[in-house]
């Protein structure tokens, strides 16, 4: 995989460099609530601009239906990028139309432009190779060189991620190089004990990675909504907690495999439960109680791991040499149910291990709860991409850069 440093050594002054970034930031009322992904790609963009390139930044945001939708405009991201770079950033109001062509044509050496949300064009995500390729052809007309640095999208076979690099000289940006290096430490160069913390809502989203980790990790700690399918599989009442009954047999099989292979699979021993899901807008105090994990009332749902589980998980992380954490272990957006996720984050901070926080929700939790990002070994920008890499899958965006 060609690096951006190799590209810079060849010279980029005056060249139009297309940077496929990941500016897929969370928005609330048009305001960015977490700019982590913009800051992550900033070094690549800044370095190219300093070298005299005419930088064209492109990304998706959200899931628009292949047509313009103001709710998913990249305009706020372009504004924030300009603030971080300390310079004006031009913004094109379309992807490959008149505005994009005019904006790119007007770029001077060392200047930066952002084009509108790539997913406003149906060709970006098309399943049909010809349709996707046609969009990639139009994107290629805007640039001389391609730099892939949108790690959060490299697991997608999309036009700007997979097809466009084949049409232009290409290299990997600093973020992708860093992310791949980190993932190798979680797969090929693991220091043990290796502890994995998996949270999030659905167990179905994590089954493939659990399947792989049963042969690699020493301990797997389970939290979040997915934990209740595991508790149900053990024969416990889970009330109205999030439950995927269609996954119970698979979960039972994984628990049996873990026991046979010597992998410690750790489940909550107590949980915070309530009859009502909390109001995440007003953050009004919640009515909850703490119960043992095998005594969840039939009319209540689990919303966070309890204090005994927090201590247990911290103890399981304390002696680790490598820790990978993907997914909050409770509804951290509400202060009454943020304690478990805070405890996991603190355990990683207190550990001497190489710690990796993977996934947008986990990264957002770390920042929302006020932790210093530098206290962790690495905060990944791509949850889905990280998981698929750990599952052993070929990621289309990385394969394209290696071609």
Catalytic residue among 138, 157, 202, 234: 202
Q: Please check if 192 is assigned to a binding site.
A: no
Whole-angstrom CA distances from 370 to 107, 272, 292, 382 are 38, 22, 29, 20
Running DSSP on this structure, what letter comes out for residue 3? B
Least Cα distance to 60 among 99, 133, 114 occurs for 114
Query: Was 37 annotated as part of a binding site?
Result: yes
Closest Cα partner for 300 from 270, 272, 322? 272
- The verdict on whether residue 149 carries a ligand-binding annotation is no
Catalytic residue among 37, 47, 300, 342: 37
In sequence order, which residues have a C-beta less than 8 Å from that of residue 97 and are 6 or more positions away? none
Pairing between β-strand 27-28 and β-strand 31-32 as defined by DSSP bridges: antiparallel
Task: Tell whether residue 303 is among the known ligand binding residues.
Answer: no
At a CB cut-off of 8 Å and minimum separation 6, what does 5 contact? none
- The answer on whether 54 is annotated among ligand-binding residues is no
63 is in an annotated binding site: yes
Of the residues 199, 224, 384, 397, which is catalytic?
384
138 is in an annotated binding site: no
Q: Is 310 annotated as a binding residue?
A: no
Residue pair 60/117 in contact (Cβ under 8 Å)? The answer is yes
> Active site includes 367?
no
| Distance (Å, whole) CA 196 – CA 136 | 38
For residues 370 and 324, give the distance between their C-alpha atoms in angstroms, rounded to a whole number.
Answer: 20
φ and ψ of 147, to 5 deg: -125, 120
Residue tagged 């007003």 (tokens): 282
Does 62 show up as a binding residue in the annotation? yes
37 catalytic per annotation:
yes
22 is in an annotated binding site: yes
24 belongs to an annotated ligand binding site: yes
384 counts as catalytic: yes
Residue 326 annotated as lining a ligand binding site: no
The response to whether 156 counts as a known ligand-binding position is yes
Catalytic: which of 360, 382, 383, 397? 360
Please identify every residue annotated as catalytic. 37, 202, 360, 384
Q: Binding site for substrate: residue ranges?
A: 22-24, 37, 60-63, 119, 156
Q: Binding site: residue ranges?
A: 22-24, 37, 60-63, 119, 156, 206, 302, 333, 359-362
Q: Binding site for (2R)-3-phosphoglycerate: residue ranges?
A: 37, 119, 156
Q: Binding site for ATP: residue ranges?
A: 206, 302, 333, 359-362
């Amino acid at each position: 995989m060609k690096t951006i440093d190799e590209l810079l050594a060849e010279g980029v002054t005056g060249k139009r460099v297309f940077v496929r970034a990941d500016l897929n930031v969370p928005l609330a009322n048009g305001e960015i609530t977490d700019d982590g992904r913009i800051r992550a790609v900033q070094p690549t963009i800044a370095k190219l601009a300093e070298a005299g390139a005419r930088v064209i930044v492109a990304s998706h945001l959200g899931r628009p239906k292949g047509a313009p939708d103001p709710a998913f405009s990249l305009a706020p991201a372009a504004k924030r990028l300009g603030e971080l770079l300390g310079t004006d950033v031009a913004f094109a109001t379309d992807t490959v139309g008149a505005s994009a062509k005019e904006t790119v044509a007007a770029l001077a050496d060392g200047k930066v432009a952002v084009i509108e949300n790539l997913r406003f064009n149906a060709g970006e995500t098309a399943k049909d190779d010809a349709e996707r390729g046609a969009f990639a052809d139009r994107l290629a007309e805007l640039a001389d060189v391609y730099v892939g640095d949108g790690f959060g999208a490299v697991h997608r076979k999309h036009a700007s991620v997979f097809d466009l690099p084949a049409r232009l000289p290409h290299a990997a940006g600093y973020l992708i190089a860093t992310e791949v290096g980190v993932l190798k430490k979680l797969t090929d160069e693991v220091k043990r004990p290796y502890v994995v913390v998996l949270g999030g809502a659905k167990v179905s989203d994590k089954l493939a990675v659990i399947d792989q980790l049963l042969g690699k990790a020493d301990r797997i700690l389970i939290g979040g909504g997915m934990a209740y399918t595991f508790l149900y599989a053990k024969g416990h009442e889970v009330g109205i907690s999030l439950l995927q009954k269609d996954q119970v047999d698979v979960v039972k099989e994984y628990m049996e495999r873990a026991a046979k292979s010597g992998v410690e699979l750790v489940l909550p021993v107590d949980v915070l439960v309530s009859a009502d899901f909390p109001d995440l807008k007003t953050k009004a105090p919640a009515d909850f109680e703490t119960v043992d994990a095998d005594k969840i009332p039939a009319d209540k749902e689990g919303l966070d791991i309890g204090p005994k589980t927090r201590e247990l998980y911290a103890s399981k992380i304390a002696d680790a040499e490598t820790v990978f954490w993907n997914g909050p272990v409770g509804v951290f957006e509400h202060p009454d149910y943020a304690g478990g996720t805070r405890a996991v984050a603190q355990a990683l901070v207190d550990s001497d291990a190489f710690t990796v926080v993977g996934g947008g929700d986990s990264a957002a939790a770390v920042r929302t709860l006020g932790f210093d990002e530098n206290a962790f070994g690495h905060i990944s920008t791509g949850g889905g991409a990280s998981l698929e890499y750990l599952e052993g899958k070929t990621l289309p965006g990385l394969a394209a850069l290696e071609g």
